[in-house]
A and B are shown apart, each in its own frame.
Chain A
Amino acid sequence: MANKPKTTDRERDGVTRRGFISTVGAGALGAATVGTSRAEAVPEITAPEAMVQIGLTINGRIHRLLVEPRWTLLFTLRERLGLTGTKVGCERGECGACTVLINGQPRYACMTLAVEAEGSQITTIEGLMDGEALGDVQQAFVNEDAFQCGYCTPGQIMAAEGLLQANPSPSTEEIRKGMSGNLCRCAAYHHIVRAVDSAADGRREGDDR
């Protein structure tokens, strides 16, 4: 994985994602065979409501806060830090409304636990602003009317930002593919593709200068 999180207190305590998965897997195996035995090395599992302290680096600032291990990054951003630009659409990794950048890559914040995100650089829609001024992708979305109700829009913009960071000159087909993880029920897709294309143009022109 490109963005391997650095070791944290939680990992040392034994609550790693791998540990969690192996426990679940072992439980399922036990149930399937004899129904009684469990794997020998059962990692200690923190109670879901037990609070742990973490530091999240969001838009260049470190936020130290107490979270439950089961809290998603999405919930933590919105309901605990008030960063409600990141939207909630499905909470199961299907719609993309909660897309943020984690170390520059578009990721679904609903599929990322807050504890997992410690040590990563998290960028939200609020982080694309320069003070009160819109970022270039945001401005392109305004100019091309690349939204209707606007609810999926922050996620779309973060996906576009991630795409352009990875590929500054995407073809139309690459834009369509790059944006296909973000649903828009109003279906402003045609304008979204134009906006991403125009933002890419703008960046290239900026680089030429």
Chain B
Amino acid sequence: MSEDSPYWIEGTVPETPTPAEYPEPWGKTNVVGARLPRVDAYERVSGSAVYPSDVILPGMLYGAILRCPHSRARVLSVDSASAEAMPGVHAVITASTPEADIPWSYRRGPESRLFPSLCQHEGEAVAAVAAETPQQAVDALRAIRIDYEILPHVADQETSSDPESPKIWDDGNELPARPPYERGNIATGFAEADVVLELTFTTACEIHAPMETHGCVAQWDGDRLTLWESTQGVFAVQARVAEILGLPLSKVRIVGHYMGGGFGSKLQAGKYSIIAPILARLTARPVKLFLSREENMLCVGNRPPSRMTLKAGVKKDGTLTALAMDTLSTPGAYAISGFGLEDWQIRDLYTVPNVRTSNRFVFINAGPARPFRAPGHPQGSWALEQMMDDLADAIDMDPIVFRLKNIPSVSQARGGQPYTTTGLKQCLTDGAAAFNWETGRSRPVQKTHLKRGVGMGACLWIAGGGGPPSTAIVKIFADGSVNLNLGASDIGTGTKSVMAMVVAEELGIDPHAIQIEHADTATTQFATPSGGSKTIPTESPAVREAAYAVRRRLIELAAEQHDLAIEDLELATGAVVSKTDPAVSFPITELEGLQRRGLVMGVGYRGPNPEDVAITPFAAQFCEVEVNTRTGEIRILRFLGAHDSGRVMNRLTYDNQIFGGITMGIGLALTEERILDQATGKMVNANLHDYKIPTALDVPAEMASLAIDPHDEQCNTTGAKGIGEPVTIPTAGAIANAVFHATGVRITESPITPGRFLEAQAAQAEEV
């Protein structure tokens, strides 16, 4: 990430000015930090929230995309004549349709087309239709005749670079190598070690699988385009759509009030964001275009597979001397983003003077990766946290004691920048105490085939400090009611609720009374997409700044009206009151200045982060598992997440993030795996039955959270750091460590399916 802009920002973004005055850090808060049900809960549980896929417009048609069934093929000819003549069909577009014959570029290449003649993965778009009903649209897709020349493919990153492998791109299958990361001298470090271990870890490819698939509804009003899009960032979609369709930004409106999950896969526009407007323009009708579940699994992102060889040296006293890691991963057929960063934990989490990491990336003929909740981090953590346990085992030290010996006070990966705060030590010690680690750890070996064990993992997240730009507007009306306007999306993390709480805290009002306008490029201010765990630390200071400006203005109005000193007044619930005499109280609704103008408005900007410091969330997670050594089934009995994400803004949504992140990590550890058939390169489990995301039965009945707040007054004016991604980073490693504690079997390959466990157990028995 140091080489590139963060994955949630594409291109340049507008700067916002530095605020002239910052509010003081909060002391005791009245609203912020409470367990508050969401301000938009009613809409979400009543069914009245309109998600983009719910939008129905008069005269609306349904779009569908024809996709290449082969993992690699050349389109020789497309015959759409019979499809065009079918009942209900209004438009068929292919590469030879002038409006659709346009380039499509990927962030890090190679260049492609909207409908490329060379299909580089199963699911590549070849044509699209618009019809009266979705059923007719699918009928029409089936009637389009395509002649493909099936080309040799690469389905395995391990063999992609072999000389005999087909060349996917003219320049070869390997992305340009980057220089390795190095500090200290690993040879010296390994020479100093009493124990040196080396293990190779792999993680399977995971699919984001949000419950609402990707898509949009497009409507033209003359030369103005409106898209209701399921997205994490309306302004990112606006920029891309305007660029590709050659429209001014002012004529492209993206609305994304609600969206059914993204996890990083909806940070950007998709081909559907372009195809739907083209179909809508050609037919002069609104067009709804949402991907099927299968398309969702093939085409719009994944957490790519990884292979990580990790070598580690440690002294008998628990001092880490050296870490070296070589990784191999793949961006798929095109390089967007979401690959890499497997080595960040190795570089930054534990104190170690000698480090070397190098990352290789190769193309394969599969759908492109996109950022997936903490890109690279859960993979790297899977390797590092298991290695830490093996090292602890080798020097006969408790895994937590070992980690505590290696806690850094500065960010070593950033040249020794201090962290604004680090709660890592407390996450480990307080988490262990709350989890009853000692008891679980010392339980004697069970004699039955059901074996219980405990395990843990720690982590940090590379980002999570947020930063500019952001603009928020708070308005208070003559009747005392309040409106909040911000551009950020609420992707289910509770953004709207937290921001309402910030306004309520400053203005002394009920958060549920605040009307919120958000995530609409026509009516709200620029915001970067909600990703990188940065929405709360980015937006909450801007929102606080805006509310603070309103508060100051109301106090000024009262001071002017009653000829009092500003310093003697403060804002309480619904009134400006004297700091010294509680009897002196001026209700907001009786302020003449407010009544005359009808409203008071405050604009807040997100100021820059403090320089030369690192703002980083930390965590430690603990779990207990029961392994059936006859069937290989693994049951998770309990989990505890101890998290330092700075100030807890809403304890209810905070806990929800932790439990949700842990559950996603359970998927990585135990069930989730994209399976590509090597002979054809096709995904054989592109559905939610065979690609297994965790269900209610896969989470433990006992889950707990522990909030570690080191009171970070330096990071920003609300003291909040990101929570959404760290919650899923250490989970899988912790589970693997618990399995090892229970059974003595070390599984380096994810997911730990029953079959994989039994194989590893049998292999280990043979060795002994």
**Residue of A whose beta carbon sits closest to that of B230:** A151
User: A138 near B46 (CB under 8 angstroms)?
Assistant: yes
Total residues of chain B contacting the partner, CB 8 A: 62
For residue B48, which residues in chain A have a CB less than 8 angstroms away from its CB? 85
Chain A nearest Cβ from B45, distance in angstroms: 4
User: A179 near B696 (CB under 8 angstroms)?
Assistant: yes
For residue A150, which residues in chain B have a CB less than 8 angstroms away from its CB? 43-45, 49, 258, 260, 492
Bound Cα distance A153, B492 (Å): 12
Asked if B209 is at the interface (CB within 8 A of a chain A CB), the reply is: yes
Chain A nearest Cβ from B494, distance in angstroms: 8
For residue A172, which residues in chain B have a CB less than 8 angstroms away from its CB? 701
Bound Cα distance A186, B258 (Å): 14
Q: Which of B660-717 contact A (CB under 8 A)?
A: 660-664, 687-689, 693-697, 699, 701, 703
Asked if B38 is at the interface (CB within 8 A of a chain A CB), the reply is: yes
For residue B653, which residues in chain A have a CB less than 8 angstroms away from its CB? 145, 148
Chain B nearest Cβ from A37, distance in angstroms: 27
Asked if B652 is at the interface (CB within 8 A of a chain A CB), the reply is: yes
Chain A nearest Cβ from B77, distance in angstroms: 28
**Which one of B43, B208, B212, B693 lies within 8 Å of A149 (CB-CB)?**
B212
User: B45 near A157 (CB under 8 angstroms)?
Assistant: yes
Asked if B659 is at the interface (CB within 8 A of a chain A CB), the reply is: yes
A-B contact count (CB 8 A): 185
Asked if B321 is at the interface (CB within 8 A of a chain A CB), the reply is: no
User: B697 near A177 (CB under 8 angstroms)?
Assistant: yes
**Which one of A151, A154, A190 lies within 8 Å of B659 (CB-CB)?**
A190
Asked if B166 is at the interface (CB within 8 A of a chain A CB), the reply is: no
Asked if A16 is at the interface (CB within 8 A of a chain B CB), the reply is: no
User: B45 near A191 (CB under 8 angstroms)?
Assistant: no
Chain B nearest Cβ from A60, distance in angstroms: 16
User: B660 near A142 (CB under 8 angstroms)?
Assistant: no
User: A86 near B47 (CB under 8 angstroms)?
Assistant: yes
Asked if B37 is at the interface (CB within 8 A of a chain A CB), the reply is: yes
**Residue of A whose beta carbon sits closest to that of B135:** A70
Given contacts A149-B492, A186-B660, A188-B656, contact A176 B54 (CB under 8 A): no
**Residue of A whose beta carbon sits closest to that of B639:** A190
User: A192 near B46 (CB under 8 angstroms)?
Assistant: no
Asked if A189 is at the interface (CB within 8 A of a chain B CB), the reply is: yes
For residue A154, which residues in chain B have a CB less than 8 angstroms away from its CB? 45, 47
**Which one of A94, A97, A147 lies within 8 Å of B687 (CB-CB)?**
A94
User: B697 near A151 (CB under 8 angstroms)?
Assistant: no
Given contacts A70-B135, A150-B260, A183-B688, contact A190 B44 (CB under 8 A): no
Bound Cα distance A7, B442 (Å): 66
**Which one of A88, A94, A147, A192 lies within 8 Å of B53 (CB-CB)?**
A88
Asked if B578 is at the interface (CB within 8 A of a chain A CB), the reply is: no
**Residue of B whose beta carbon sits closest to that of A138:** B45
Bound Cα distance A185, B41 (Å): 18
Asked if B211 is at the interface (CB within 8 A of a chain A CB), the reply is: yes
**Which one of A84, A142, A182 lies within 8 Å of B50 (CB-CB)?**
A84
Q: Which of B116-170 contact A (CB under 8 A)?
A: 133-136
Bound Cα distance A196, B659 (Å): 17
Q: Which of B507-547 contact A (CB under 8 A)?
A: none
User: B261 near A151 (CB under 8 angstroms)?
Assistant: yes
Interface of A is mostly: loop
Given contacts A125-B46, A125-B47, A142-B45, contact A176 B663 (CB under 8 A): no
User: B659 near A149 (CB under 8 angstroms)?
Assistant: no
Chain A nearest Cβ from B116, distance in angstroms: 27
User: B135 near A71 (CB under 8 angstroms)?
Assistant: yes
**Which one of A68, A89, A152, A182 lies within 8 Å of B135 (CB-CB)?**
A68
**Which one of B46, B56, B135 lies within 8 Å of A129 (CB-CB)?**
B46
Asked if B488 is at the interface (CB within 8 A of a chain A CB), the reply is: no
User: B44 near A134 (CB under 8 angstroms)?
Assistant: no
Stretch at the interface among A23-31, A38-46, A75-83, A200-208: A75-83
Given contacts A68-B135, A185-B211, contact A89 B293 (CB under 8 A): yes
**Residue of A whose beta carbon sits closest to that of B259:** A149
Asked if B408 is at the interface (CB within 8 A of a chain A CB), the reply is: no
User: A148 near B492 (CB under 8 angstroms)?
Assistant: yes
Given contacts A95-B688, A149-B260, A153-B45, contact A78 B696 (CB under 8 A): no
For residue A143, which residues in chain B have a CB less than 8 angstroms away from its CB? 37
Chain A nearest Cβ from B130, distance in angstroms: 15
Bound Cα distance A175, B697 (Å): 9
Asked if B181 is at the interface (CB within 8 A of a chain A CB), the reply is: no
Given contacts A84-B56, A124-B47, A142-B42, contact A89 B659 (CB under 8 A): no
User: B687 near A92 (CB under 8 angstroms)?
Assistant: yes
Against A, the Cβ 8 Å flags (1 = close, 0 = not) of B246-270 are 0000000000001111010000000
For residue B689, which residues in chain A have a CB less than 8 angstroms away from its CB? 92, 94
For residue A153, which residues in chain B have a CB less than 8 angstroms away from its CB? 44-45
**Which one of A145, A152, A177, A189 lies within 8 Å of B38 (CB-CB)?**
A145
**Which one of A129, A185, A193 lies within 8 Å of B210 (CB-CB)?**
A185
Chain B nearest Cβ from A180, distance in angstroms: 5
User: A180 near B696 (CB under 8 angstroms)?
Assistant: yes
Bound Cα distance A192, B659 (Å): 11
**Residue of B whose beta carbon sits closest to that of A187:** B663
For residue B135, which residues in chain A have a CB less than 8 angstroms away from its CB? 48-49, 68, 70-71, 75
**Which one of A79, A87, A186, A189 lies within 8 Å of B56 (CB-CB)?**
A79
Bound Cα distance A32, B243 (Å): 54
Asked if A65 is at the interface (CB within 8 A of a chain B CB), the reply is: no
Given contacts A68-B135, A142-B37, contact A84 B263 (CB under 8 A): no
**Residue of B whose beta carbon sits closest to that of A93:** B689
Chain B nearest Cβ from A135, distance in angstroms: 9
User: A82 near B56 (CB under 8 angstroms)?
Assistant: yes
A49-B135, A148-B492, A149-B261 are known contacts; what are 13 more A-B pairs with Cβ within 8 Å? A49-B87, A85-B47, A88-B53, A88-B290, A89-B688, A94-B687, A138-B46, A148-B261, A149-B210, A149-B212, A152-B260, A176-B701, A184-B696
Complex A-B, nearest 9 residue pairs according to Cβ-Cβ distance, in ascending order: A85-B47, A151-B260, A149-B492, A150-B44, A187-B663, A148-B492, A84-B54, A94-B688, A125-B47
**Which residues of A pack against B, CB within 8 Å?**
48-49, 68, 70-71, 75, 78-79, 82-92, 94-95, 97, 124-126, 129, 134, 138-139, 141-143, 145, 147-154, 157, 172-173, 175-177, 179-193
